[in-house]
């Protein structure tokens, strides 16, 4: 197990190296000039040329890439062209905001999706099963930006229960410690700020978690139906065990492995794909951070942001692979 884990970690090096080349090349292929964007349309050609030289943008491609990799190996993600601030200082705040949103969205998706799928399989071909599967199909098919706008209209504008955007009450700002506001407010013992953070989090988390919730529900139902017909399930029922324990103790554990794959993939996709949700709800996460950087042709921020997300994505997949052996002792890694 240990040697397998070490080999998987070593395999990440060429993957991330290849990813850095692809991202660096694509970012350079984006139309537009950062110097022109920063100085504006009225800037003189001399001023633009001087700024390009100071930013190193006039160097050959491989010189720029070599400098980028050299800095990256020392833990330096570069400096934002737009703000002049080290990316290391900016990106972790945005990443924490996205991580908090993604974790809450996945908790909602996993808790509701798993139980909906299990109960749907338990009461197969009942009205509950049909309703859950129809809702799951709608959830997968629904565009996330449309769902976000509808949630804002219904619960923020019409009912006035929840805020439309942002991450905190601007009249009562949170003193950040970890940049995870739910944790920070608990550390400070400020219940009003905690409730404000929860209210700001609910709508974007629901919007972001709807598609994973639907996919988890469908996969759980399908996997449970395959397990419920097994001999050991019939044996457990013949012994007089209650159906609840047969379903959740015996069937669910063996049906969980394919669901775990879906959860792992969706967790990685949510982290990188939160840009729409963050833009709609004004959430200051890494998706919106990269979106703003693309708008201003801020190359270092775009390439570093995407590389950080890619790194987290492959790490999540590695963790999921290792968890297979936890849920199924028959799986041995060598």
Q: What is the pLDDT of residues 5-16, one digit of tens each?
A: 787 778 888 888
Q: How confident is the model at residue 150 (pLDDT cuts 50, 70, 90)?
A: very high
With 70 as the cut, is the pLDDT of residue 63 above it?
yes
The pLDDT of residue 214 is 92
With 80 as the cut, is the pLDDT of residue 334 above it?
no
With 90 as the cut, is the pLDDT of residue 248 above it?
no
Q: 101, 207 in Cβ contact below 8 A? A: no
The pLDDT of residue 332 is 64
Q: 217, 128 in Cβ contact below 8 A? A: no
The pLDDT of residue 273 is 63
Mean pLDDT throughout 223-229? 86
Provide the percentage of residues in the chain whose pLDDT is more than 70: 96
**Of the given ranges (124-133, 193-202, 215-224, 323-332), which has the lowest mean pLDDT?**
323-332
**Of the given ranges (140-154, 198-212, 255-269, 281-295), which has the lowest mean pLDDT?**
255-269
The pLDDT of residue 201 is 93
**Dihedral through CA 126, CA 127, CA 131, CA 133, nearest 10?**
20
- Pair of tokens at residue 3: 């040697």
285 or 32, greater pLDDT: 285
User: How far apart, in whole angstroms, are the C-alpha atoms of residue 76 and residue 69?
Assistant: 9
Mean pLDDT throughout 94-122? 91
Contacts of 320 (CB under 8 A, 6+ apart): 260, 261, 263, 264
With 80 as the cut, is the pLDDT of residue 226 above it?
yes
Q: Pick the closest to residue 101 from 286, 311, 322 (CA basis).
A: 286
With 70 as the cut, is the pLDDT of residue 330 above it?
no
Q: How confident is the model at residue 44 (pLDDT cuts 50, 70, 90)?
A: confident
Mean pLDDT throughout 51-57? 75
Q: How confident is the model at residue 195 (pLDDT cuts 50, 70, 90)?
A: very high
The pLDDT of residue 198 is 93
Reading phi first (left if > 0) and then psi (alpha if -120 to 50, else beta), residue 3 is in alpha
The pLDDT of residue 172 is 83
Q: How confident is the model at residue 331 (pLDDT cuts 50, 70, 90)?
A: low
The pLDDT of residue 213 is 92
With 80 as the cut, is the pLDDT of residue 329 above it?
no
User: How far apart, in whole angstroms, are the C-alpha atoms of residue 179 and residue 130?
Assistant: 42
Looking at every residue in the chain, the average pLDDT score rounds to 84
Mean pLDDT throughout 304-316? 84
With 80 as the cut, is the pLDDT of residue 85 above it?
yes
Taking only the tens place, the pLDDT of each residue in 160-188 is 899 988 888 888 888 888 889 899 899 98
The pLDDT of residue 24 is 84
């Amino acid at each position: 197990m240990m040697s397998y884990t070490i080999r998987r970690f070593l395999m990440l090096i060429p993957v991330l190296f290849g990813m850095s080349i692809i991202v660096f090349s694509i970012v350079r292929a984006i139309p537009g000039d950062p110097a022109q964007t920063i100085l504006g349309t009225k800037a003189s050609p001399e001023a633009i040329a001087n700024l390009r030289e100071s930013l190193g943008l006039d160097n050959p491609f491989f010189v720029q890439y070599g400098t980028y990799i050299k800095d990256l190996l020392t833990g330096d993600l570069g400096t934002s062209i737009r703000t002049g601030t080290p990316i290391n200082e900016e990106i972790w705040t945005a990443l924490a905001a996205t991580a908090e949103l993604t974790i809450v969205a996945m908790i909602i998706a996993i808790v509701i999706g798993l139980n909906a799928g299990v109960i749907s399989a338990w009461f197969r071909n009942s009205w509950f099963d049909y309703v859950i599967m129809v809702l799951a199909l709608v959830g997968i098919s629904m565009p996330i930006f449309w769902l976000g706008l509808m949630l804002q209209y219904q619960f923020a504008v019409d009912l006035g229960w929840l805020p439309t955007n942002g991450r905190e009450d601007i009249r009562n700002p949170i003193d950040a410690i970890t940049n995870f506001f739910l944790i920070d407010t608990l550390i400070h013992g400020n219940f009003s700020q905690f409730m404000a953070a929860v209210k700001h989090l609910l709508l974007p988390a629901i919007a972001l978690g709807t598609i994973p919730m639907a996919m988890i529900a469908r996969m759980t139902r399908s996997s449970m139906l395959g397990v419920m017909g097994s001999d050991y399930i019939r044996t457990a029922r013949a012994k007089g065990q209650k159906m609840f324990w047969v379903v959740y103790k015996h069937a669910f554990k063996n049906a969980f492995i394919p669901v775990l794959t879906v959860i792992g993939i969706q967790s990685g996709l949510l982290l990188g794909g939160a840009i729409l949700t963050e833009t709609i709800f004004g959430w200051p996460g890494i998706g919106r951070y990269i979106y703003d950087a693309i708008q201003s042709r801020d190359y270092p921020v775009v390439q570093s942001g995407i590389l950080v997300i890619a790194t987290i994505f492959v790490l999540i997949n590695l963790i999921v692979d290792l968890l297979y052996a936890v849920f199924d002792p028959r799986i041995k890694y060598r």
